[in-house]
Amino acid sequence: MPLGTVPAASPQPLIDPYRRHITYLRVSVTDRCDFRCVYCMSEDMTFLPKAEILSLEELDRVCTAFVRLGVRKLRLTGGEPLVRRNIMSLFRALGRHIASGALDELTVTTNGSQLARYADELRDCGVRRINVSVDTLDSAKFTAITRWGKLDQVLGGIAAAKAAGLAVKINAVALKGVNDDEFDRMIAWCGEHGHDMTIIEVMPMGDIGPDRLDQYLPLSLVRARLAERWTLEDSDYRSGGPARYVTVKETGRRLGFITPLTHNFCELCNRVRLTCTGTLYMCLGQEDSADFRAPLRASDDDAPLDAAIYAAIARKPKGHDFIIDRRHRGPAVPRHMSVTGG
C-alpha cells in the first residue's frame, strides 16, 4: 500500500453502554396476522395504515445497514411474517448476505399457517432453522387459543418444513389451566418428529382483554413437574437467544425455557427489535425507541441511517422490569407482542 494511504476502515461495532455487543436484529415485518392468539391480540385489533409501514425495499435497506454494522443474525417475525404480500422477495434479498458470508443466520418465527406453501423457497433463500409457535396438540384447544387457527394446517406446514430440510423448533407459551397438562405429550411428539422445543412464560404486553394473572404460569413450576417424568440434563447449549436449555435424555432433544418473569435474562442481551413502521425498540420491555423511517425516507444516502442506528444503540437500557402479580395486572408496556415482534 502506498505511503499515506488509509485502509478502508471497517465500521465501529454496535456496542451498547453496558458493553453488550449487538449482533442480532429481529424485524417485525407486519403487525397483521391470520390468527388472534388470546395472549397476543384482542379479537378486534386495529392495524396500522399502509402508509406507515415500511416497504419491503425499505426493510431490506435497514436490515442491510445493520448487517454492514456487524449484525450476524436476522429473524423476521410479526404479526405473522408469512402473510405479508410478496414477503419472499425480502427473504430472497436478505439471502444475499448469507451467500456473501456477512450474515450467519437468516431465520423466521411463524405460526406455520403458510409454511406448506413457502418451506422450499425459504430453504432456497438460505434459511436453515425456523421457529414455529404451537401451544397445544389438541385441535379444539388450538382453535380456542388462536381463535382463527387450524391445527392440521400448521402440522402440515411443519411437515413440509421438515421435508424441505429446515430444522424446526417449536415454541409454546405456558398458559395456566390451558396447556399445562400437555407438555408431556408435546415433548414426546417433538422427540418423535425431531424438533427442539422452547416453553415461554407469558409476558405482560399490550391490552388483550383477559386478566394476565389468570394466564401466568411460572416456568419454575412447569420444570419441576416435567422433572418428575423426564430426565432433564443441564446443557450449555445457547441458541443466541434468552432460552436456557436442558436435554431431555429420553428423546435426545433440547428443551428450552424462556423466563423473563421468574429469571431476568437481560445481562446477556445482544438484540434489538425493529417494527414494521421503522421504529427500533432497544428493549422488549421498555418504551424508549428510535425512528428510522424519517432518515430512510429523507435520503438515499445511508449515512444518516447509520448515524441513527449508532445513536439508538448508545441508548439501549440495562433491562426490563416485567412483573405480573396482584398489584400489576395491566400491561407493563402498552404495545402488543405482534408490534415489536416476539
Under the criterion CB under 6 A, does residue 79 sit at the interface with ligand SF4? yes
Q: With contact defined as beta carbons under 8 Å apart, do 242 and 257 qualify?
A: no
Q: Which cell numbers hold the place of 15? A: 456496542
Binding site partner of 242, from ligand SF4, ligand SAM, none, Cβ cut-off 5-8 A by kind: none
Binding site partner of 259, from ligand SF4, ligand SAM, none, Cβ cut-off 5-8 A by kind: none
Q: Which whole-number Å values give the CA distances from 199 to 41, 141, 174, 223, in the listed order? A: 19, 17, 6, 10
The pair phi, psi for residue 247, each rounded to 5°, is -105, 130
Amino acid at 64: T
Among 14, 22, 41, 305, binds ligand SF4 (CB under 6 A): 41
Q: Which of 40, 283 has the CB closer to ligand SF4?
A: 40
Binding site partner of 203, from ligand SAM, ligand SF4, none, Cβ cut-off 5-8 A by kind: ligand SAM
What x/- string results for residues 178 through 197 when contact with ligand SF4 is judged by CB under 6 A?
Answer: --------------------
What pairs with residue 200 in β-bridges?
A: 173, 258
Q: Residue 170: in which H helix or E strand, if any?
A: strand 167-174
Q: Binders of ligand SF4 among 140-159, rule CB under 6 A?
A: 146
Under the criterion CB under 6 A, does residue 37 sit at the interface with ligand SF4? yes
Binding site partner of 205, from ligand SF4, ligand SAM, none, Cβ cut-off 5-8 A by kind: ligand SAM
Q: With contact defined as beta carbons under 8 Å apart, do 316 and 289 qualify?
A: no
Burial classification of residue 228, based on how many CB atoms lie within 10 Å of its CB (0-12 exposed, 13-18 middle, 19 or more buried): exposed
Q: Residue 59: in which H helix or E strand, if any?
A: helix 56-68
Nearest residue to 258 (alpha-carbon basis) of 218, 227, 285, 212: 218
Under the criterion CB under 6 A, does residue 205 sit at the interface with ligand SAM? yes
Under the criterion CB under 6 A, does residue 80 sit at the interface with ligand SF4? yes
Among 133, 136, 259, 279, binds ligand SAM (CB under 6 A): 133
The pair phi, psi for residue 4, each rounded to 5°, is 90, -10
Q: Residue numbers of the site for ligand SF4 (CB under 6 A)?
A: 33, 35-37, 40-41, 78-80, 111, 133, 146, 338
Q: Residue numbers of the site for ligand SAM (CB under 6 A)?
A: 33, 39-40, 77-78, 80, 109-111, 133, 171, 173, 200, 202-203, 205, 337-338, 342
